[in-house]
Amino acid sequence: MSLTWIVIFTAGGLLFGALAALAARDATGRLNALTRRARPWLMLSASVTALYWLQSSTPIRHLDFWLPTGTLGLTGLVWAATLKPRPATGAKRPDQTAAGPGTPDLRATLLTGLVMAGIVALIASTRYVDALCCLTPSRPPEIGAAGMALLMCVAVSVIVARLATGRAWLDAALVALLLALFVALKTEPLTAGVSALLRALTGQSVSQASALDVRWLGFSYIAFRLIHVLRDHAGGRLPALSLREFVTYVVFFPALAAGPIDRAERFVKDLRGWDAGPNAAAARVEDVAEGLRRILIGVFKKFAIADSLALIALNPINAGQIQSMGWAWVLLYAYAFRLYFDFSGYTDIAIGMGRLFGARLPENFDRPYLRPNLTMFWNSWHMTLANWFRAYWFNPLTRWLRTAGGASLNASVIIFIGQTSTMLLIGLWHGVTWNYALWGAWHAAGLFIHNRWTAWARSRQAGSPTSAWRARITHMLSVALTFHFVALGWVWFVLPDVGQAVALFARLFGG
């Protein structure tokens, strides 16, 4: 997200926040009620618009229009598949009719569909108005083609909604579809293949196909949210969500490009629970002040600190040019801090923007480089991603290994399998390449060693008192050790060539 976009979204959020604060002071309460009604529509409209606006350009004709449309199609499809609640829970949908649980309010759904379709149609129609063209990076396709695509999305969603009743395999099939898309987009040769296919379909030169052609805005995060709702739906834990709530949750614009990965039930609580009581005005002002504060902190972190560090941060070009051990460490430290300030800066901006609209997105970072061990590091670095993997991979896997799948395995083997597979998957989430896999393996090894060390140390130190100063020194050394382990791990992360990474390790240690 560029600074211009941040300024525009922030200005919009501030305007909304200011109006909401003024409306909350209205003695009649009518203005406040109006703002309450307008807010979810505003969040939906802004998010759908941002989906197209923030999509980066691509050399494949109209793909910068079709990818956001694909996101909306997938979101609608998953919503349709999760319409019928699984037996365990299923609170009454706010727009449900008396027809019974799982039956959405047709009017509200139609209205949401119309609003979304209207926005997409407006964006598509900018191709005919030179003065307005274009919200998308390139000229959108013919409005007829856009209309046909929307109709197809609706038709498929309706079919899926009808299929959904009692068919658990549908959730699994959609998860498989999302994973397949994920793998296709994260594996360079496959992405290049997708590009070639799309180029062939649009009559463009297939020989120029490249993995860089297909850059789907926020797909990683969107897929994680969709998988989360499908898994929770399958487990009967998903609350009932209207189409408007669902789409806003999945494509909420502040969290589109770089997270955080919120949980649907938490997000929807914010969406529905906007305070309308006597403290509403104070709450609105607090939202605006806190939102602005987080945005300013985020902008400073990202554009002042991270972008300055980026000038000297380790990268595949300068890694091969470094002439001394000392400066190699400086460049590595610069990369470590650049990554943190960049990512946490974006998170601050996202949280701040969300707050302007009254949504409290979850925190993603909590001073990760000050953690005394790797386990605590992963509890404070990209927390929502780590929590996602914990909830949907590590916990189910280790539970299964403890019971059905590997009941004979001892605890340390189960932990090893769980941590290694989790960290490898987190690594591969960044891209299906050897260096990301090695980065995941590096952390898996660190986590396992820490786990075993803790168990061993606990057994030895049980009952023996530790002085305060000794504890303090141990803590500081642990922080330094953990930070350096993480920083060295970034070598795998930043250098795509494994040989180059090994050479840099040699340089870092005096080779």
Partner 1 sequence: MRGISTRRIAIKALLLFVVVNVVFALTDPLPAIGSLSAYNLIFPGRPRLPYSDFPERAYSLSLYNLNAMFASHEIAAGPRPSGEYRVLLIGDSSVWGFLLRPDDTLAARINAGGRTLPDGRRLRAYNLGYPIMSVTKDLLLLQHAMRYEPDLIVWLVTLESLPAGRQLLHPLTQNNAGAVRGLIADYGLPLDASDARLLDPSFIERTLIGQRRNMADVIRLQVYGALWAATGIDQDYPDYEPAAIDLEADETFHDLKPPVLRAEDLALEVLRAGHHLAGDTPILIVNEPILISNGRNSDIRYNFFYPRWAYDQYRVIMAEQARQQGWRYLDLWDVVPMGEFTNSAVHLTPAGSQLLADRIAQQIVAGEQ
| Contacting residues toward partner 1, per CB under 8 A | 285, 288-289, 308, 311-312, 317-318, 321-324, 327-328, 330-331, 334
Tokens (6 digits) for 25:
């002071």
User: Residue 358 Cβ, how far from partner 1 at the closest point, in Å?
Assistant: 17
> Closer to partner 1 at the Cβ: 317 or 407?
317
Residue 372 contacts residue 475 (beta carbons within 8 Å): yes
Tokens (6 digits) for 381:
């670095």
User: Residue 248 Cβ, how far from partner 1 at the closest point, in Å?
Assistant: 27
- Rounded CA-CA distance 44/247 in Å is 7
> Closer to partner 1 at the Cβ: 81 or 322?
322
Residue 247 contacts residue 40 (beta carbons within 8 Å): no
> Closer to partner 1 at the Cβ: 183 or 282?
282
User: Residue 339 Cβ, how far from partner 1 at the closest point, in Å?
Assistant: 17
> Closer to partner 1 at the Cβ: 177 or 310?
310
User: Residue 488 Cβ, how far from partner 1 at the closest point, in Å?
Assistant: 17
User: Which residue in 391, 468, 386, 467 sits closest to 429, CA to CA?
Assistant: 386
Alpha helix stretches (DSSP H) within 89-130: 106-125
- Rounded CA-CA distance 104/407 in Å is 43
User: Residue 81 Cβ, how far from partner 1 at the closest point, in Å?
Assistant: 45
> Closer to partner 1 at the Cβ: 321 or 408?
321
> Closer to partner 1 at the Cβ: 317 or 468?
317
Tokens (6 digits) for 183:
């793998």
3-state secondary structure of 235: coil
> Closer to partner 1 at the Cβ: 88 or 289?
289
Residue 74 contacts residue 222 (beta carbons within 8 Å): yes
Tokens (6 digits) for 353:
């923007």
User: Residue 279 Cβ, how far from partner 1 at the closest point, in Å?
Assistant: 13
User: Which residue in 108, 122, 114, 111 sits closest to 49, CA to CA?
Assistant: 122
> Closer to partner 1 at the Cβ: 208 or 308?
308
Give the number of C-alpha atoms closer than 13 A to the C-alpha of residue 295, restricted to the C-beta side: 24
In the block, residue with structure tokens 């959730």: 171
Beta bridge pairs of residue 96: 104
Tell me how far the alpha carbon of residue 348 is from its chain's centroid.
14
User: Residue 208 Cβ, how far from partner 1 at the closest point, in Å?
Assistant: 22
> Closer to partner 1 at the Cβ: 135 or 297?
297
- For residue 211, give the DSSP letter: G
User: Residue 500 Cβ, how far from partner 1 at the closest point, in Å?
Assistant: 15
Alpha helix stretches (DSSP H) within 243-301: 243-251, 264-272, 280-299
User: Residue 348 Cβ, how far from partner 1 at the closest point, in Å?
Assistant: 18
- Rounded CA-CA distance 24/433 in Å is 52
User: Residue 334 Cβ, how far from partner 1 at the closest point, in Å?
Assistant: 7
Report the greatest alpha carbon distance in the chain. Answer: 78
> Closer to partner 1 at the Cβ: 323 or 464?
323
State the amino acid at position 480 in one-letter form: A
